[in-house]
Chains A and B, each alone.
Chain A
Amino acid sequence: QKEVEQDPGPLSVPEGAIVSLNCTYSNSAFQYFMWYRQYSRKGPELLMYTYSSGNKEDGRFTAQVDKSSKYISLFIRDSQPSDSATYLCAMSASNFGNEKLTFGTGTRLTIIP
């Protein structure tokens, strides 16, 4: 079993819809959680970073963490065609330097105009 599981999709939704992306993990040592967005032929870019259970909002994006269920989500409101990308969840056991990130396999999202 992989440490981090993520539905690979692909996921296609109409413009304006709410998108829900999810990851589960098995390693209870993970305490820090990130969502990265990766456009085609580009490097991953950090979207959200959180370390506590609950919700964190940034514009149209909300990251949700439930440590008791080992489950994290990313919600995108009012989705736009520019949100079409692969979304990768990532997590680590600490926020000290040198700590490696463990990634999910990514979910490919397409927003249909």
Chain B
Amino acid sequence: DTAVSQTPKYLVTQMGNDKSIKCEQNLGHDTMYWYKQDSKKFLKIMFSYNNKELIINETVPNRFSPKSPDKAHLNLHINSLELGDSAVYFCAISDPGNTIYFGEGSWLTVV
């Protein structure tokens, strides 16, 4: 059973479109994250949520809006997509010891 599942795995879309990436966890942990990995493999935090409450917002453009409908889900909505948004987006969860587990990633390509 996968602890963190993301959909879709691959997404190709045109500039200016709005898209969402969904994340679900089945471990019951309180904290969920979105990380972005660029083409050089650099992984950087975007947001963290604790029990549906936004905790970290790491200077991400407001075109990116995370939404946590419940403790098991953290979705990422992106408005007006730009070429520079092309990256791999990882959802992650942390256990009480702050060990972080990543999902498989969502490959976003903006054309």
Interface positions of A (Cβ within 8 A of B): 8, 32, 34, 36, 38, 41-46, 49, 86, 88, 90, 92, 94-101, 103, 105-106, 108
Chain B CB within 10 Å, residue with most, of A34, A43, A90, A99: A43
B contact face: mostly helix, strand, loop, or mixed = strand
* Cα(A36)–Cα(B101), bound, Å: 10
Tell me which residues across on chain B come within 8 A of A101, comparing CB atoms.
45, 100
Contacting residues of chain B (65-102) with chain A, CB-CB under 8 angstroms: 90, 94, 96-102
Closest to B41 in A: A106
- B positions within 8 Å CB-CB of A: 4, 30-31, 33, 40-45, 48, 50, 55-56, 58, 90, 94, 96-105, 107
Q: How far is the CA of A43 from the CA of B99 in the complex (A)?
A: 15
Given known A43-B90, A44-B90, contact A97–B98 (CB-CB < 8 A) = yes
> How many A-B residue contacts, CB cutoff 8 Å?
64
B109 to chain A, nearest CB (A): 14
Name 16 interchain pairs, CB-CB below 8 A, sorted by A: A41-B107, A46-B99, A46-B100, A46-B101, A49-B99, A90-B43, A95-B97, A96-B98, A98-B55, A99-B94, A100-B45, A100-B56, A101-B45, A101-B100, A105-B42, A106-B43
B53 to chain A, nearest CB (A): 10
Partner of A98, one of B4, B44, B56, B58: B56
Between B40, B42, B103, the greatest number of chain A beta carbons within 10 A of the residue's beta carbon is seen for: B42
Apart from A38-B41, A44-B102, A97-B50: 12 A-B pairs, beta carbons within 8 A:
A41-B107, A43-B103, A49-B99, A88-B41, A88-B43, A95-B97, A96-B98, A97-B30, A97-B31, A100-B48, A105-B40, A106-B41
Closest to A92 in B: B98
Q: Across the interface, which residues of B come within 8 angstroms of A108, CB to CB?
A: 41
Separation of A95 and B31 alpha carbons in the complex (Å): 13
A42/B105 contact (C-beta < 8 A), A98-B31, A105-B41 known: yes
